[in-house]
Structure 1
Amino acid sequence: METQAQIHIDRRDPATVMRLSRLGSLHQCRLSFMRQLTRRMARENWSFSRPVFDIDAQGVGTAVYTAHGPDRAYSLVAFAHDLPPEKRSDRVIADAWDATFALFDGIPTEADIERLSKNVPLQEAGRVSETELSLSRANRSVRLWEHVVDALAAGQQPDVQQIYQVGYLMRTTAVYGSGKFGAADRENIANRPETSAPFQAEMLSVFLTRTFVRDLVQHMANAKGGDQATKLDPDIAPWLGIGNSTGLGMAPFIVNHPILFNNWVMAREEAIARVRSVESASAAEVEHFRRVFERSQISITWWRSEHPIQIEKLAALNADLQAISDYVDQDGLTGSHPWNRLVLWSQTALSEEGQEYLASLILEPYADLVDGLASCMADGDAAAFVIDGAMPVSDVRDLIRGAFGWALELDWTSREHCARAWYVSEEKLEPRMGERFEEPIEDYEQPWAPARDAVAIYAELSGWDGAQPIAEFLLRHPEHRHSVRRAQMTRTAPYGEIRDNTIGATVVPLDMLRAKLSFFGATHFDPRSDRWVRICMYAGAPYPEELTSENADLWVYPEVPT
């Protein structure tokens, strides 16, 4: 007879998890890539240095920040510029920025820095080499930048409320990696322990960029105020994160990488299932949850947005916070399987935003159950890309029904279901989405509508003998190879497919952006439209010289201000 202690809660159904509205409500968690990196750097006792800081009184020059790990070093090479205000733009078509960066694989020589100085400030117009792991740029948040410089120059501390509400002095407008513009391919670093998890090089670049920005604003204040200038309070400095502006270019990523995205979502879902399966929570675990919950509420009070979508979601989340507080006070999280009861309650009591916030939060007391799943989040399954031509047609049909059954019920001849089309812009080679029936873009459409394509092959297969191998079908219809591949991938990647129409009239690309950014560890999502969003990264994190095992993880949750 099964006892309660043996009960294992299954992972949530992909049909529930992979809806766009839910993906667009995800929050950072213990498995977020930024927190993985800071935990590793503290655990391995990384050291940091600033061998170069050659910046003049106008804030123009070069700096190098080097992170020394157990086996190798990585260096951020930063170039600060004097950007006229009229040239400051977060759009991808911009051609000048306040600062530009490259993450160098190792420690750069003077010749390397000279080479990079001729290319990195040009960004897309320049070229880097495979010794560079990422290329990025950033612009100042002008109002807060000027406020902090002026305050420090006058011997005063900046207004902490402004810092809490803006959250950053500079925001990146792109952090390019994985071979773009000549940078190193992912394969070059995929087998290194410190960069095997997804986006670790990019997260390290942003971590070091944040330190450069802090040092630059202090340098500018010192230059302006001279002897009168004061140093930024070390209790205020951590709440200066790095902003980011992200647009449509990121959205197709989760469509193009079904195995990789599955691994991210599956790791999180497995973590949630493991915690829900815990038979009873100790007093220490309950206290840990309560403390983190209290701290997280502070962060949410700093979360501002002027976009109707996020205003509505924030209102729902704030109501959810009170509901969670009331539930925890009444229930006490005692008794059998308290986390499972809490999650089941949330499914009817909270908004999707609140449900996913809570799902992330229950992981916090259980580092031993959760953190090891980080090793499962990369995509090392090259074999999944190979089509199994011997698979019977009937099996392929079953797989399509399993992942795209919802799409088989839609009328794809209706304009509302195929109103949009994804294409790549000629000027910047960036993904874009347009109106299929209003713009001349259909000839340039990209294959980012897997549901529509799955329905098309399903119809073609209806007249085929189910026992025939799918290879015979593909010999006559090679245009459907990608759909067969994706269907077969669902055998090992149940969370690889979005269970919504990515070209429908009501699609909100913002949901795709948020899904990816939440796994980075982003907070304070601030949509500027349904197609681009500003976020904050590393707000609250220790700076390199402060990083310890004690502060390397829960920095994302602010301490209660005194």
Structure 2
Amino acid sequence: MRTLVRRIMLERWQIDVAHLELCAEGYGSVIYEISTPHGLFSFVVFSDYLSTAERNDRVIASKWDLTMALVEGRIEDDYFAFLRDNVPLQEAGRVDARVFVLSRANRSARNFDYVVEQLSQGEQPDVAQIAKVGYLYRTTAVYGSGKAGMADWDKVSTRYPDFARPFAAEMFACLMLRNFSLLQVEHIAQQRSPQQYKPMRSEIKRYFGIGNSTGLGMAPYLINHPMLINRWIEMRELALALVRSLGYIDDRVRLQLDELLTRSAQHMAETLTEDPWQANNNVRIMEDIMALRKQTGPLLQNWNDLIVWSEQHCSLQGQELLVSILLELYPQLVDGLEDYHCAEEFLDLDSLMPLQSLKRVIERRYDWALKIDFSQMGALDTFWYRSEDKMEPRLGLCALDKGQDKQMPLGVGYAVYTCYQLLCKYIAENPDHTTARFMVARPKLRGIVRRIQSMDRCVYGDIQANLLAKDILPMHLLRCKLSFFGVSKFDPKSTLWVRNTMFQGAPLLEDIGHVYNDDWFMPLAPTLGGDH
């Protein structure tokens, strides 16, 4: 998100409303046209009436308050009619390769009507109220990369440099949804009471983000794209290494560090969650920040000492927050790495690798999998599958649910463990054979052997956990990927899905063309002066 906004602001993208046809209640359609250094794109939004009974954030829903698409080029009348027939249907419809992203969203029950009412009465929404739920809409899915007939990643990444970074188009759709949500509440409020209406203050607008509900659909991506995940983590670790290698901390940076720690503590205090586990984590992070501030005085000579101290005294989340803050201090060191987040993903089979070498690779790289006791109670109680109606990932219990014969191969640890056992037996009889001979004898192991050999070229990329265990917590997998997107304010709703906030504090469309200070890390509720 930060990378995308930085590009939009520095390149001064031109984003204008080309078509606006909304009734007094905000239903209808809007088209934005986006002029970038490399092309022209359109973002179309369809707003339809949705009753309370029909509103459902789960992926099984078939109707939504808003449906949207990011499209190549200008939208002509006949193509608009085509989109009007298909975009509101989402995956039940069909689009073409001009479409990059398909998405949908629902109104916030707590915020949307409240904000409209406040503006229509000439009042500003209460910041304390917004802090509880920092958005007007919540996305329930953001699709790309070929789904429902859309352009695939190969087309987008090779032909459209504006969106050639992973998930850039999807993040842009969420940013445009945020901007439409602000336009819509002001439109409805003005139509409701033209004489009393007052527009929302810019600082309050910036505090509105976009909500997101993320479920199991994100988890298989982490397992199925290990080389891309490896690259993301490599770039993060490289950024951290560049900061750790600095041998001198000047007073300006020391002051900025204290400001960011203070801001982060306040941000956590303003983060509300109904989940006790997450609430306790947030409290612990604030305690970590207080402890870190005591370590950042004049005696602190280098960042490595502070990081080592945090690893000994702070919670895991406190340690991670410190890393994020340190990266904020040195944009000149780390921002250039944003151009290296793509990866060519080829899991190749090295058929000539001696089996003794393959065995050593497993023992070295997958020692974590060999240490798991898969005979233990509950170790193999869960399986992953896709639902027949929506083709969305689900978790099944082996003892209760049917469908194990159709499960997705996400249990990498168990697959490696099984491969290793069979490999050892084979080597005992054929110590000099190559991988090719083993594949002839065990063709069903071809997939996991390809992964083992290919991932040996990487440092990261594999999730070192048993994803088939009874007590698996998919939420941790979701948070990993979401953290790279740049989301904040995690609010777990179960072990299977989590709500969060995107683009809170980001610039508005009207800020494009003005001086840009890239500083919306850990956004805070605005303090308003004057009449509000």
**Superposition CA RMSD, Å:** 1.5
Which one of the candidate residues 319, 337, 342 is aligned to 1:355? 319
Q: Does 1:390 align with 2:352?
A: yes
% same residue: 38
Distance (whole Å) between structure 1 residues aligned to residue 393 and residue 517 of structure 2: 35
Q: Secondary structure at the match of 1:86?
A: coil
List 4+ stretches of structure 1 deviating above 6 A.
none
Q: Would the aligned equivalents of 1:295 and 1:560 in 2 still touch at CA under 8 Å? A: no
Please state how far the C-alpha of 1:41 moved relative to its aligned partner: 1.4
The equivalent residue for 2:530 is none
The count of aligned residue pairs is: 523
The equivalent residue for 1:309 is 277
TM-score (norm 1): 0.90
Q: Secondary structure at the match of 2:195?
A: helix
Structure 2 letter corresponding to 1:515: C
Larger mean Cα displacement after TM superposition, 263-272 or 464-473? 464-473
Q: Would the aligned equivalents of 1:38 and 1:552 in 2 still touch at CA under 8 Å? A: no
- How do residues 120-159 of structure 1 correspond to structure 2 at under 5 angstroms? 120-159=87-126
Distance (whole Å) between structure 2 residues aligned to residue 400 and residue 197 of structure 1: 32
Q: Secondary structure at the match of 2:140?
A: strand
Distance (whole Å) between structure 2 residues aligned to residue 549 and residue 39 of structure 1: 13
The equivalent residue for 1:529 is 494
Which one of the candidate residues 295, 304, 307 is aligned to 2:263? 295
Q: Does 1:178 align with 2:140?
A: no
- How do residues 389-408 of structure 1 correspond to structure 2 at under 5 angstroms? 389-408=351-370
Q: Would the aligned equivalents of 2:127 and 2:526 in 1 still touch at CA under 8 Å? A: no
The equivalent residue for 1:332 is 298
Larger mean Cα displacement after TM superposition, 200-209 or 491-500? 491-500
Distance (whole Å) between structure 2 residues aligned to residue 333 and residue 151 of structure 1: 51
Please state how far the C-alpha of 1:279 moved relative to its aligned partner: 1.1
Distance (whole Å) between structure 1 residues aligned to residue 114 and residue 307 of structure 2: 43
* Cα pair distance change 1:397/1:549, threshold 3 Å: farther
Which one of the candidate residues 364, 382, 394 is aligned to 1:420? 382
Larger mean Cα displacement after TM superposition, 353-362 or 311-320? 311-320
Q: Would the aligned equivalents of 2:62 and 2:89 in 1 still touch at CA under 8 Å? A: yes
Structure 1 letter corresponding to 2:328: E
The equivalent residue for 1:66 is 33
Please state how far the C-alpha of 1:469 moved relative to its aligned partner: 1.6
Please state how far the C-alpha of 1:46 moved relative to its aligned partner: 1.3
The equivalent residue for 2:342 is 378
Q: Secondary structure at the match of 1:525?
A: strand
Structure 2 letter corresponding to 1:354: G
The equivalent residue for 2:245 is 277
TM-score (norm 2): 0.95
Residue ranges of structure 2 left out of the alignment (5+ in a row): 528-532
Q: Does 1:538 align with 2:500?
A: no
Structure 1 letter corresponding to 2:505: G
Please state how far the C-alpha of 1:226 moved relative to its aligned partner: 2.0
Please state how far the C-alpha of 1:523 moved relative to its aligned partner: 0.3
Distance (whole Å) between structure 2 residues aligned to residue 549 and residue 518 of structure 1: 28
Q: Would the aligned equivalents of 2:207 and 2:525 in 1 still touch at CA under 8 Å? A: no
The equivalent residue for 1:439 is 401
Q: Secondary structure at the match of 1:235?
A: helix
Distance (whole Å) between structure 2 residues aligned to residue 392 and residue 452 of structure 1: 23
Please state how far the C-alpha of 1:363 moved relative to its aligned partner: 0.5
Distance (whole Å) between structure 2 residues aligned to residue 164 and residue 46 of structure 1: 30
Distance (whole Å) between structure 2 residues aligned to residue 419 and residue 559 of structure 1: 43
Residue ranges of structure 1 left out of the alignment (5+ in a row): 1-33
* Cα pair distance change 1:489/1:308, threshold 3 Å: farther
The equivalent residue for 2:307 is 343
Structure 2 letter corresponding to 1:471: A
Which one of the candidate residues 462, 467, 474 is aligned to 2:424? 462
Distance (whole Å) between structure 2 residues aligned to residue 225 and residue 332 of structure 1: 57
Higher relative contact order (CA 8 A, sep 6+): 1
Q: Secondary structure at the match of 1:85?
A: coil
Q: Would the aligned equivalents of 2:365 and 2:456 in 1 still touch at CA under 8 Å? A: no
Q: Secondary structure at the match of 1:223?
A: helix
Larger mean Cα displacement after TM superposition, 176-185 or 296-305? 296-305
Q: Secondary structure at the match of 1:363?
A: helix
Larger mean Cα displacement after TM superposition, 208-217 or 487-496? 487-496
Q: Would the aligned equivalents of 1:243 and 1:535 in 2 still touch at CA under 8 Å? A: yes
Please state how far the C-alpha of 1:188 moved relative to its aligned partner: 0.7
Q: Would the aligned equivalents of 1:169 and 1:213 in 2 still touch at CA under 8 Å? A: yes
Larger mean Cα displacement after TM superposition, 300-309 or 201-210? 300-309
Distance (whole Å) between structure 1 residues aligned to residue 514 and residue 319 of structure 2: 30
